[in-house]
Amino acid sequence: MSDPDDFQAKLKALCADFATHLPGKLERIEQAWQQLPHDVWDAAGFQSFNSMVHGLSGSGKTFGFALLGAAARTLEDYLKPILRAETVPNEEQRQHIRDLLGELHQAQYQRATAPP
Amino acid sequence: MTDKLKRILYVEDEADIRTVALLALEALGGFTVDLCHSGSEALSRAPDFRPQLILLDVMMPAMDGPTTLSLLRELPQFAATPAIFMTAKVQPAEVAHYLELGAVDVIPKPFDPMTLASQVQAIWSRCHV
């Protein structure tokens, strides 16, 4: 087993690495959303978009981004019935998803002051 | 005498989560961890690694955690290996479902890297009372 200080240093480095790559992840999520067609159900595309959001909901808090993780979870929960229905989101749903993506982007700037 | 937990097979598709869990389990728990990024990789690596405990993410592309576990259980050497699911779905009914699938417990995600090793150890100890 490792020295606690060494562990903390390594954990801090992982959190810093996560933070560094976070903007790119959010950009890819945004691109995945923008590429979804408005007029036909794209199962693979929607699943890919959902998977990326799911990834953040499962990892955000672990790396010190609790609000980001919560925002991702909210979006993921909103997407579930749409995925189940396999129906193209209507305009109201699309606007809500855009709003939730906006909250996700904002949450990346609200990091815990110390790693978990 | 209870077997000491040493070898954990960890199945998780998200690279970030694999990395921090590996650090937590090895550095704080002293475990030897074999990382798999998919259910199919887990099925391939498990026979040689001989895990004493299997830790699985639930939601993974291609082959999810429950499917992975059910296929591992078809291998005689893993028919009774303790398995723990890691998932954000931890409502009582959801946990009951995972236990019905053959897991011994569920660890909520997101997990705390400071306590993951001790959670796993506690579950192992409870299984070997």
Cα–Cα distance measured from residue A39 to residue B62, given in angstroms and rounded to the nearest whole number: 26
Is the Cβ–Cβ distance between B9 and B46 less than 8 Å? yes
| Total residues found in chain B within this entry | 129
pLDDT computed for residue A105 by the predictor = 94
* The dihedral formed by the CA atoms of B98, B18, B39 and B99, expressed in degrees to the nearest 10: -10
pLDDT band for position A4 (cuts 50, 70, 90): confident
Burial class (CB in 10 A: 0-12, 13-18, 19+), B24: buried
Q: Best residue in A1, A18, A65 to probe B by mutation, most B CBs within 10 Å?
A: A1
Cα–Cα distance measured from residue A49 to residue A101, given in angstroms and rounded to the nearest whole number: 11
pLDDT computed for residue A2 by the predictor = 65
pLDDT computed for residue A49 by the predictor = 97
Q: What tens digit of pLDDT does each residue of A29-66 get?
A: 999 999 999 999 999 999 999 999 999 998 898 999 99
Tokens for B69? Answer: 């576990």
pLDDT computed for residue A5 by the predictor = 83
pLDDT computed for residue B45 by the predictor = 98
DSSP string, B5-20: P-EEEEE-S-HHHHHH
In sequence order, the β-bridge partners of residue B34 are B9
Is the Cβ–Cβ distance between B33 and B54 less than 8 Å? no
Q: What tens digit of pLDDT does each residue of B50-81 get?
A: 999 999 999 998 899 999 999 999 999 999 99
Residues of A in contact with B28 (CB under 8 A): 1-2, 7
Q: What tens digit of pLDDT does each residue of A52-105 get?
A: 999 999 889 899 999 999 999 999 999 999 999 999 999 999 999 999 999 999
Is the Cβ–Cβ distance between B103 and B95 less than 8 Å? no
Residue B11 has pLDDT above 90, yes or no: yes
pLDDT band for position A1 (cuts 50, 70, 90): low
pLDDT computed for residue B88 by the predictor = 85
Tokens for A60? Answer: 């955000």
ipTM exceeding 0.90?
no
Q: Which residues of B touch A (CB under 8 A)?
A: 14, 16-17, 19-20, 23-24, 26-30, 57, 59, 61, 88, 109-114
AA identity, residue B55? L
User: Structure pTM?
Assistant: 0.87
Cβ of A58 within 8 Å of Cβ of B112? The answer is: no
Is the Cβ–Cβ distance between B5 and B53 less than 8 Å? yes
Q: Which residue from B9, B108, B22 is spatially nearest to B58, judged by alpha carbons?
A: B108
Residues of B in contact with A55 (CB under 8 A): 14, 16
pLDDT computed for residue B1 by the predictor = 55
User: Would you give the DSSP letter of residue B35?
Assistant: E
Cα–Cα distance measured from residue A94 to residue A80, given in angstroms and rounded to the nearest whole number: 14
Query: CB-side exposure of B91: number of CA atoms within 13 Å?
Result: 2
Cα–Cα distance measured from residue B47 to residue B108, given in angstroms and rounded to the nearest whole number: 27
pLDDT, average across residues B27-48: 97
pLDDT computed for residue A87 by the predictor = 93
Is the Cβ–Cβ distance between B66 and B98 less than 8 Å? yes
Residue A115 has pLDDT above 60, yes or no: no
Query: Nearest-CA distance from B59 to chain A in Å?
Result: 9
Mean residue pLDDT of chain B comes to 94
